[in-house]
Structure 1
Amino acid sequence: MSKVVYEKRDSVAWITMNRPEVKNAVDVEMHEQLSAAFEDFRDDPQLRVAVLTGAGDTFTAGADLRTHAPEWQTVGPMVGRERLEDGLSGITRGPLARITKPIVASIDGWCLGHGIELAMACDLRIASDRAQFGTFEVRRGMHSADGGIVRLVNTCGVGFTMELVLTGEPVTADRAFAANMVNRVVSHEQLADATELLVQQILRCDQAAIESAKETVHEIIGRPLHDQLRVEAMWGYALCGGNITVESRSQQFFDKTDAGRAGETATPLTGGR
Structure 2
Amino acid sequence: MSKVNYENRGPVAWITINRPEVKNAVDVETHEQLSAAFADFRDDDDLRVAVLRGADGTFTAGADLRTHAPEWQTVGPMVGRERLEDGLSGITRGPLARMAKPIIASIDGWCLGHGIELAMACDLRIASDRAKFGTFEVRRGMHSADGGIVRLVNACGVGFAMELVLTGEPVSAERAYHANMVNRVVPAEELEAATELLVQQILRCDQAAIESAKETVHEVIGRPLHDQLRVEAMWGYALCGGNTTVAARSQQFFDKTDAGRAGETATPLV
TM-score interval for Structure 1 and Structure 2 normalised by the shorter chain: over 0.9
User: What residue ranges of structure 2 are gaps of 5+ in the alignment?
Assistant: none
Counterpart in the other structure of 2:75: 75
Counterpart in the other structure of 1:41: 41
Counterpart in the other structure of 1:12: 12
Amino acid at match of 2:177: F
Counterpart in the other structure of 1:147: 147
Deviation at 1:265, TM superposition (A): 0.2
Counterpart in the other structure of 2:135: 135
Task: Count matched residues.
Answer: 270
Amino acid at match of 1:256: K
Amino acid at match of 1:45: D
Counterpart in the other structure of 2:214: 214
Counterpart in the other structure of 1:223: 223
1:136-162 Cα shifts (integer Å, max 9, x gaps): 000000000000000000000000000
Deviation at 1:78, TM superposition (A): 0.8
Counterpart in the other structure of 2:84: 84
Counterpart in the other structure of 2:261: 261
Alpha-carbon distance between aligned partners in 1 of 2:20 and 2:255, rounded to the nearest angstrom: 49
Counterpart in the other structure of 2:100: 100
- Percentage of identical aligned residues: 88
Deviation at 1:169, TM superposition (A): 0.2
Counterpart in the other structure of 2:64: 64
Alpha-carbon distance between aligned partners in 1 of 2:190 and 2:99, rounded to the nearest angstrom: 28
The answer to whether residue 252 in structure 2 is matched with residue 252 in structure 1 is: yes
Superposed CA RMSD in Å reads 0.3
Alpha-carbon distance between aligned partners in 1 of 2:217 and 2:202, rounded to the nearest angstrom: 16
Alpha-carbon distance between aligned partners in 1 of 2:192 and 2:27, rounded to the nearest angstrom: 26
Alpha-carbon distance between aligned partners in 2 of 1:268 and 1:12, rounded to the nearest angstrom: 20
Deviation at 1:191, TM superposition (A): 0.2
Amino acid at match of 1:147: G
Amino acid at match of 2:173: A
The answer to whether residue 123 in structure 2 is matched with residue 123 in structure 1 is: yes
3-state DSSP of counterpart to 1:105: strand
3-state DSSP of counterpart to 2:13: strand
Amino acid at match of 1:128: S
1:158-178 Cα shifts (integer Å, max 9, x gaps): 000000000000000000000
1:196-216 Cα shifts (integer Å, max 9, x gaps): 000000000000000000000
Q: TM-score by structure 2 length?
A: 1.00
Counterpart in the other structure of 1:174: 174
Amino acid at match of 1:150: V
Q: TM-score by structure 1 length?
A: 0.99
Deviation at 1:57, TM superposition (A): 1.5
User: Which of structure 1's runs of 4+ aligned residues deviate more than 2 A?
Assistant: none
Deviation at 1:61, TM superposition (A): 0.2
Deviation at 1:4, TM superposition (A): 0.1
Amino acid at match of 2:26: V
